[in-house]
Amino acid sequence: MSCRLTATDDAEAQVLEQRLAAAPSEAALREDATRIDPILVRLLGEGVPIERIAATAGALNTRLIARLWALLAPAALIEASCLLVMGSEGRGEQILKTDQDNALLLRDGLDWPGLEALAQRFSAALSGFGYPPCPGGVMLSNPLWRQPLADFRDAIRSWIYAGDREGPLRLAIFFDAAAVAGDAALLAQAREHLDRVFAGQEVYLARFAAAADAFDAPGHWFTRLLTRRDEQPIDLKKLGTFPIVHGARALSLQYGVRAVGTAERLQALAALGRLDAALAGELIGALHVLMRLRFIHQLRQRAAGARPGNEVRAADLAPGEREPLRAALAVVLRFRQMLRHHFRLGVL
């Protein structure tokens, strides 16, 4: 298993990727970090498909994170550990910088003096580069996400068997992990352990999958979205991307799919005959529509001096955005119905 250091096909982004990979100091890296968003905005304006924009963002963010770790951590520690990114960054679906989601797996028996201070410095540096701290503490600075492999295996088991209230959320976060520096075999071993301890956990799986069907919006929002302008906000994440992402995650966990990106998971599930191929294609298309609209909306919010969020009003949509959004959300609703039936969510 290799670390995810993805290449981009945009010339300007390639130059920046090389700068990030060779940055001589934190100060140089911080300056180069400010160049990422303008490239992504330019690609959007040029009509580049959103999946390519996300891939470019992932390549640049990954290079930055890996280089920061190389600047801060001794080579011996890097070789004896595995730095992970998780959440949308792990799936390769993050565009604008969002909360940090990272972790460090250590080889068993490794005792590194000063590791806590190093982890705190790493998290603080990322904050200074524009990556806000995770409100839930999913960062190297939290000891839960900085453990030897044996201890992390025990944590995985507790998420499933010990009735840990945060267990399903932590499992979902870890399931989206991608290695960006160090010994990627440590992540592979942790994933293999997850497959073993999860086998036969149908009831837990159903409870895990139920999160994909947990969010609802005020009545009649779906028809109002098309027929007239409306002031009631729609959460593009809760009602749109999250059900697709988490539904694909739950099905992948059930059927042993190792892909991390949502589109790749859906394609793999279709190839295995576990998901209708036509539905998989529609879900990928819907995901990309929603990702693009969310990116556009967040840029508008930022330009207006507001903090980028996920809620959008129909009144704020451009004429050519309303129908694609309605069509994408219709696909999401059908997927949620399929998940209810598949996981028997009505009997929980």
- Specify the pLDDT at position 320: 86
- As a whole number of angstroms, the distance between CA 306 and CA 19 comes to 31
Q: Which amino acid is at 109?
A: G
Q: Is the dihedral of CA 254, 144, 260, 136 positive or negative?
A: positive
**What are the strands, taking DSSP E only, across 219-314?**
233-235, 311-313
- Six token digits for residue 238: 């809760």
- Specify the pLDDT at position 220: 54
**What are the strands, taking DSSP E only, across 280-342?**
311-313
Phi, psi of 38 (to 5 degrees): -60, -35
Find, among 248, 288, 282, the residue nearest to 264 by Cα: 248
Residues in CB range of 128: below 8 A, 6 or more apart: 30
Phi, psi of 105 (to 5 degrees): -95, 135
> pTM for the complete prediction?
0.92
pLDDT in tens, 215-235: 876 555 555 555 555 567 889
- Specify the pLDDT at position 2: 41
Residues in CB range of 5: below 8 A, 6 or more apart: 59, 62, 63, 66, 180
Phi-psi region of 263 (alpha: psi -120 to 50; beta: other; left: phi over 0): alpha
**How many alpha carbons lie under 13 Å from residue 213 in its C-beta half-sphere?**
21
Q: Across the 348 residues of the chain, what is the mean pLDDT of every consecutive 10-residue run?
A: 58 95 96 96 96 95 96 97 95 89 96 94 94 91 95 94 86 96 97 90 92 74 56 86 97 95 98 98 98 93 87 83 92 96 84
pLDDT in tens, 237-269: 999 999 999 999 999 999 999 999 999 999 999
Kindly report the number of other CB atoms within 10 A of residue 220's CB atom: 11
Kindly report the number of other CB atoms within 10 A of residue 305's CB atom: 6
Q: What is the DSSP letter of 82?
A: E
